[in-house]
């Protein structure tokens, strides 16, 4: 990361100053920042930046090695995936002497997003008792959406079955109670 470049950007660009000042108020580092959410949070500020100014800000941060701008596709929002702690980067931009740590969820092995940019996904482990004598563990993204959960459930229904068993339908009825894969009951 080009720390000198980040500090210079803060000093010369009013949008960068506003965004860094806002992000610097956060208590917790996050792995991603959604452009639309940040735009909404800044909308009450005097001279609030528009969406395109925020995207320009994140493109500059990408050039400075702070992370990757991921353009929204297939229903996903445009977002910035941090390679370092956003609070740490913001405080450093403001001139504070801070140790810049990695963004939450960063591990040695990097995933790639749908446009080929390296990024990290924070995973949570979910143990599940499948049978009396068998517990399985699923490692799923912490920000798993209902749509992704539905797709995963539909995939599991396609897996091989034991002899004489039939696959349940996406909308099944168990004991009269309806259950749908997409999370709506």
**C-alpha dihedral (156, 158, 163, 165), degrees to nearest 10:** 80
Contact predicate 78/36, CB 8 Å: yes
If you average pLDDT over residues 163-185, what whole number do you get?
46
Encode pLDDT of 7-63 as tens digits.
999 999 999 999 999 999 988 888 889 999 999 999 988 889 999 999 999 999 999
Q: Residue 177's pLDDT is what?
A: 38
Identify any residues that bridge with 136 across adjacent strands, giving them in sequence order: 128
SS3 168: coil
∠ CA 15-18-20, nearest 5°, is: 105
pLDDT one-digit tens code per residue, 65-116: 999 999 888 778 899 999 888 899 999 999 998 888 888 765 433 333 444 4
pTM for the model? 0.56
Domains along the chain with CATH numbers:
3-119 (1.10.10), 145-160+169-185 (no CATH)
10-33: b (≥16 Cβ within 10 Å) or e: beebebbebbbeebbeeeebbbbb
Q: Please determine, for residue 153, whether its predicted confidence score (pLDDT) is greater than 50.
A: yes
According to the model, what pLDDT value does residue 77 have?
Answer: 87
177 versus 145: the higher-pLDDT residue is 145
What is the mean predicted confidence (pLDDT) over 119-135? 81
């Amino acid at each position: 990361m080009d720390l000198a470049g980040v500090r210079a950007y803060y000093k010369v660009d009013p949008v960068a100053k506003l965004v860094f000042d806002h992000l610097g108020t956060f208590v917790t580092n996050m792995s991603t920042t959604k452009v639309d959410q940040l735009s909404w949070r800044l909308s009450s500020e005097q001279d609030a930046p528009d969406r395109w100014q925020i995207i320009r800000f994140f493109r500059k941060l990408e050039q400075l090695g702070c992370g990757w701008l991921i353009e929204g596709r297939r229903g996903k929002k445009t977002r910035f995936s941090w390679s370092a702690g956003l609070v740490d980067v913001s405080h450093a931009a403001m001139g504070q002497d801070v140790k810049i740590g990695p963004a939450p969820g960063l591990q040695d092995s990097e995933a790639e997003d749908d446009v080929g940019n390296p990024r990290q996904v924070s995973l949570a482990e979910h143990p599940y008792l499948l049978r009396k004598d068998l517990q399985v563990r699923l490692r799923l993204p912490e920000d798993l959406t209902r749509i992704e959960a539905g797709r995963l459930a539909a995939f599991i229904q396609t897996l091989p079955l034991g002899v004489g068993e039939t696959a349940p339908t996406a909308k099944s009825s168990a004991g009269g109670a309806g259950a749908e894969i997409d999370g709506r009951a």
